[in-house]
Amino acid sequence: MTTVEMKPFVIALEEHYLDAEVARAAQTGRADGGAVASAITSLAPRLRDLGEGRLREMDEAGIALQVISHVPSPIQQANPETAVQLAIGANDSLYSATQTHPERFAGFAALPTPDPQAAAEELERAVTKLGFKGAMINGRTQGLFHDERRFWPIFERAEALDVPIYLHPGPPHPGMVEAYYADYLQDFPLLDSAAWGFTIDTATQAVRLIVSGLFDAYPRLKIILGHLGEGLPFLVGRIDEYLRSTILVQKPIAFREIFCNNFWITTAGHFSTPALLCSILEMGVDRVLFSVDWPFAQNLHGMKWMETVPLSREDKEKMFNSNARRLLKM
C-alpha cells in the first residue's frame, strides 16, 4: 500500500497589496508619492487584486493563506490628518477582502505613523474590530527612525494587544545613499532597493530599536523582520560581543538575548539555503516563518525552494504554519 503524503498548510505573511485610494493620493499630490512610486508599475494590477488573480497564483503554488500588508506608501510620509484618513481607508478595504475570503486572507494594518497616538488607536481598531494580526511599518516616517520616543506609543499598544509589528523596508536614508553608493546607481539602480539599500536601512532600524531601551520598557514586544532578518542573524554574535562588554561600552546591552527573544524573521524574498540554516542555528527554527514577498517575488519560486531545503518535515511544518499560528494566534 502506498502512502500519500499530505501537502502542508502554507501561510505566507509578507504578501502585499496596493489600495486604490492610497495610489490616487500619491498621483494627485495629496501625499508624497516617492515611496510608492516603485509599486505603481507593471505590478500595480496584481497588487490591487484582492480576489481571483491572487487566489489563482496562491493555488498554483500551494499557498493556503496570505497575511496581506500594504506596500510602502504615502501613508507614513503624509501630514498627520491625511495619513490617518488613508490608513483607515486602506485597512477598511483590506478588511472587506478578508471577509470575502476569510479562509484565504488575513491582514496586517497600515499605520498613520506621522500621528503616533492615532497610529496606536488605529492598531487597536484593526486588531480588535477588524481581526488583523498586527501591523506593518515600512521604512522611516518623514525621515525619522522609529526608535524616537514619539513613536513608542505604537509599540506600547502592540505589546498590550500582544500582536507583532512587522518592520519592512522603505526607501533608504538619502544621506546613506549619497555616501555609500550613489555613484553606482546609474549602472546598478537596484543597489538602492532590495540588492542593498533596503537591508542596510531596515537592519539599522532594528539595531536602533534594541539599543534605544525600547525592550526594557516593553519586554514582551514582538517584532518581525523579513528577508531572513535583513542580515542580522549572521551578525548578531559580533554585535552582541561588542555591545555587552562592560569594558568597551558605557551601557552594556544583551543584544543577542533581545534579538533572539523578541524578534521573528521570515524568508520573504530571500530564498537562500545557507542563509536560512545560519538563521536557524542562531535563532532556532521556531523563530523562522515562511513568506514569499508577493508579487515582488514569486510564489512558485519560494515553494520550490522549500522543497530543496534540508530540514525535517516537522521543521518545515513549523516554518509553513505552526510558528505563524502561535505568533499570530491563528
pLDDT tens by residue, 52-97:
999 999 999 999 999 999 999 899 999 999 999 999 999 999 999 9
- The whole-number pLDDT of residue 36 equals 39
Grid coordinates representing 128 are: 480588535
How many CA atoms are closer than 13 Å to the CA of 194, on its beta-carbon side? 10
Choose among 102, 79, 103, 93: nearest CA to 47.
Answer: 93
Rounded CA separation 172/200 (Å)? 8
Q: What is the pLDDT of residues 205-262, one digit of tens each?
A: 999 999 999 999 999 999 999 999 999 999 999 999 999 877 767 888 999 999 999 9
Instruction: Work out the mean pLDDT of the chain and round it to a whole number.
Output: 93
Amino acid at 77: Q
Residue 54 lies in a domain: yes
What is the model's pLDDT at position 245?
A: 78
Q: Rounded to an integer, what distance in angstroms lies between the CA atom of residue 126 and that of residue 102?
A: 15
Q: Note whether 2 and 50 are within 8 A (CB).
A: no
Q: What's the average model confidence in pLDDT over 273-288?
A: 98
| Within a domain: 4 | no
Handedness of CA 124, 125, 126, 132 (dihedral sign): positive
The answer to whether residue 330 is domain-embedded is: no
| The pLDDT value given to residue 26 | 81
For the annotated catalytic residues, the residue numbers are: 293
**Order of strands across the sheet that contains 165-168:** 109-110, 135-138, 165-168, 223-225, 263-266, 288-289
Question: Is 273 within a domain?
Answer: yes
Q: Which pTM does this prediction carry?
A: 0.95
Rounded-to-integer distance, Cα 118 and Cα 138, Å: 17
User: What pLDDT does 110 receive?
Assistant: 98
User: What is the count of structural domains for the chain?
Assistant: 1
Q: Is residue 27 part of a domain?
A: yes
Q: Does residue 289 fall inside a structural domain?
A: yes
- Give me the residue label for grid cell 506608501: 73
CATH number of residue 264's parent domain: 3.20.20.140
Determine the Cα–Cα distance for residues 274 and 228; give it in Å rounded to an integer: 11
Q: Which domain holds residue 205?
A: 11-324
